[in-house]
Amino acid sequence: MIRYIGERLLLMLFLLLGISFISFLIMQLAPGNYLDTLAMNPQISPAYIAHMKEKFGLNLPWYVQYFRWLLGILPHPVNGNWHHWDYFDFGISFSQQIPVFSILKPAMMNTLILALATIVVSWFIAVPMGVYAAVKQNGPFDQASIFLAYIGFAIPDFFLAMLLLFLASRTHLFPIGGMIGRDYEYLSPWGKLIDLFHHLFLPVLVLTVGNVAYLMRQMRASLLDVLRAEYIQTARAKGLRERIVIFRHALRNALNPMITLFGFELGFLLSGALAVEIVMSWPGLGRVIYEAIIQKDLYVVMGDLMVSSVLLIVGNLLADILLAWVDPRIRYD
């Protein structure tokens, strides 16, 4: 397993290298840059624009810019001092004039809070619903869950987000934007936690609707396949109680495909949270990359893409490790 993890991490480095190169090339092919937009302001002198181009290296060929940016991410001595090293230097934001990582770090934590909360709530709801729907196949609950799943698939996240914001503005039961309230700093630790959950409820609800529909259908289909297996029929023929057959023998094997979906689910939430974070003003990676693209802030976009790619790849790796841990039949040699 250690060797397998090492090989996956090595493969991850090459994968991230390819992602960074293609992303940087696409950004360079897009017409214009941040300074071109800035130059349209008559109050900004051409000398200042030339100074900024030299400062950010935008006067260099794109491949030179890419390698300078790439070397900043890798460990390197600070100002030639071999006793002080720096890494994860994604450059300086054009618009905010601060290091990119200082922008991405809080946004990454906020997106992870939103994604992990959605995963916990979704699995807590979807797995029992899928199990009960499979056990009561073609019953009223099964038919109702299939109908609700189709509705969950059909509703776009941004539309549901706007609908819930409209209802929240009418009822005043939930905040309509942001992550924390204005008086957050003056609250007790429990009060801060409650305030965070209060702001988290609507974004998690939007992402949970589609996620539960997908996971519930997968859980139902997986358990139905296991319940048709011969060893389940044998367990029933031995006189075991149905609850023991389902929860001790069938459910454990039915969860294997669900664990595989965990890594893809993290990537799905990172991409799906983009619209939710924009509509609901959640200060996460999706909102950061949207604003950076609008402003043509190259290094912020690149840093956001790299952080999102790392989260997706690590999620897939964790899913494979969990699958090997849960299912003793699987070993990575």
CB 212 within 8 A of CB 152: yes
CB-count exposure of residue 188 (10 Å: 0-12, 13-18, 19+): exposed
Give the burial class of 144: count Cβ atoms within 10 A of its Cβ; 0-12 exposed, 13-18 middle, 19 or more buried: exposed
Residue 81: predicted pLDDT: 62
What pLDDT does 80 receive?
Answer: 61
CATH topology of domain 105-326: MetI-like fold (1.10.3720)
pLDDT band with cut points at 50, 70 and 90 for residue 331: low
Place of tokens 């799943």: 149
Q: What is the mean pLDDT of residues 275-282?
A: 82
- Quote the percentage of the chain above a pLDDT of 90: 2
pLDDT tens track for 8-30: 888 888 888 898 899 888 888 87
pLDDT in the model for residue 86: 64
Q: In the prediction, which pLDDT does 47 show?
A: 84
Taking only the tens place, the pLDDT of each residue in 196-217 is: 888 888 889 988 888 888 888 8
- Per-residue confidence (pLDDT) for residue 146, from 0 to 100: 85
Q: What's the DSSP call for residue 177? A: S
Place of tokens 């990359």: 289
The residue-averaged pLDDT of 91-103 equals 85
- Contacts of 290-293 with CB under 8 Å at 24 or more apart are 292/93, 292/95
Residue 333 has pLDDT above 70, yes or no: no
pLDDT band for position 279 (cuts 50, 70, 90) = confident
pLDDT band at 327 (very low <50, low <70, confident <90, very high): low
Q: What is the pLDDT of residues 213-272, one digit of tens each?
A: 888 888 888 888 888 888 888 877 877 787 888 887 788 778 777 777 776 677 667 666
The length of the chain in residues reads 333
pLDDT, position 57: 80
Residue with tokens 């890798």: 74
Contact 215, 119 (CB under 8 A): no
Tell whether the model's pLDDT for residue 41 goes beyond 80: no
| Residue 4, pLDDT score | 76
pLDDT of residue 329: 64
In the chain, where the domains are located = 2-86, 105-326
Full DSSP string of 104-148: HHHHHHHHHHHHHHHHHHHHHHHHHHHHHHHHTTTSHHHHHHHHH
Q: Does the pLDDT value for residue 77 go beyond 80?
A: no
The most confident of 2-6, 105-109, 182-186, by mean pLDDT: 105-109
